Amino acid sequence: MSTATAAPQLTPSASDYETASWFPWLRHALVLAGRSIKKMMRHPEQFFDVTLQPALFLLIFVYVLGGAIAGNTHDYLQFVLPGIMIQTVLFSTMSIGVNLNTDIKEGVFDRFRALPIPRSAPLVGATIAECLRYAITITVSLVFGFIIGYRPTTSVLSVLTAALLVLVFAWCLCWIAIWLGMIAREAGSVQGFAFLALFPLTFGSSMFASADTMPGWLEAFVKVNPVTHLTDAVRGLLTGGPVAHDAFIALGTAGIILAIFAPLAVRAYRRKA
């Protein structure tokens, strides 16, 4: 007399999900993004930089430097607001690397590794949540700029396209901060490395002054700087002017950054498993 043996119940592993369809992967990423957003809401001080900095920078640059650079504050406000908006968003991308580095040290990601989810899901979820901070920065910049006299001269669709362009570029750029957060020993070093990289890219661009007014050696750098192309594309979408060439270069650069640093960040995260 033979006895039937029950088939063992196997728990799906993370590798099983890696080879599954994109829908379960996206679902896991969105769930973890919701966790990150809830964490942000419980600590509203995380929104101070993305709400106060755009307003402070606009006040300082427009009313302290605007008269000297452009002759009057209104014209300089029309010129500099896209740059201030982009600069604040780009600098806010470094926070995700600091937060992930801290979470790893506190053991939060050890729990994620024990779950049957794709290894990349926690990282992608965190980047989706960060888009909320970037969107707040863009909104505050435009709203506060409107209060003090900024007026877009294009359509609402063009303004939304400009906001989306900044959002996409920042989302791709934040993968550099994630990679730094994975390999750095201390959270403070992540911010230091990111600041050293972003400082020349933002100030060495057309954000605050036209490249034509700069020395030849600096003008050459500014004109090949991808942040310059991003700024000029957004400025064209908001106040009119050529857009296609600059937007193509900005999106191409963002795609290259994503293609290089997203795999590096995921690989560095797997090595910590």
Spans of all domains in the chain:
16-271
Provide the 3-class DSSP secondary structure of residue 20: coil
| Structure confidence by residue, pLDDT tens digits, 126-184 | 888 888 889 989 999 999 999 999 999 999 999 999 999 999 999 999 999 989 988 88
pLDDT at 1: 44
Share of the chain above pLDDT 90, in %: 42
| Structure confidence by residue, pLDDT tens digits, 213-236 | 888 899 899 999 999 999 999 999
Give the mean pLDDT of 68-92: 91
Name the pLDDT band for 210 (thresholds 50, 70, 90): confident
Model pTM score: 0.83
Per mean pLDDT, which range of 87-91, 130-134, 248-252 is the poorest?
Answer: 130-134
Does the pLDDT of residue 4 top 50, yes or no? no
User: What are the φ and ψ backbone dihedral angles of 206, each rounded to 5 degrees?
Assistant: -90, 20
Report which of residues 257 and 101 the model is more confident about: 257
**What length is written for the chain?**
273
Question: Do the Cβ atoms of 54 and 85 come closer than 8 Å?
Answer: yes
Question: Do the Cβ atoms of 79 and 213 come closer than 8 Å?
Answer: no
pLDDT at 252: 96
pLDDT at 144: 94
CA 11/CA 16 separation, integer angstroms: 10
